[in-house]
Amino acid sequence: MKIYVGNLSDEIGKRDLESAFKEYGKVTSVKIKKDAFTEKSKGYAFVIMLSPAEAEAAIKGLDGSEIKGQKLKVGEARSDTQQWKSIRRRNHGGPF
């Protein structure tokens, strides 16, 4: 199951997320989205867990939790197109 993790600080790395999610089950992938030019985090990531039950437990356990001073927003990932439109709308205030 693909999980969206938002509101990440620049200090949060792949290992931080993997460590947090491992408490709930097997993590198969962690991808922090980065700007192509600056290589800085865009403030969100995707985590993949094989077991839907473990993923649901991670979502419930980690949504609103704090890592390195930031409260995480954790939920089931939508399709890439829906996720992108939502992020653009939230960051730019328009109906992109």
Distance CA 57, CA 25 (A): 9
Q: What is the pTM of this model?
A: 0.79
Tokens representing residue 72 in the block:
């995480």
Q: What is the pLDDT of residue 96?
A: 45
Q: What is the pLDDT of residue 92?
A: 60
Distance CA 94, CA 24 (A): 36
The residue with tokens 């439109």 is: 85
CATH architecture for the domain at 2-92: 2-Layer Sandwich (3.30)
Domain ranges of the chain: 2-92
Per-residue pLDDT of the chain (96 residues; tens, 9 = 90+): 999 999 999 999 999 999 999 999 999 999 999 999 999 999 999 999 999 999 999 999 999 999 999 999 999 998 765 555 665 566 565 554
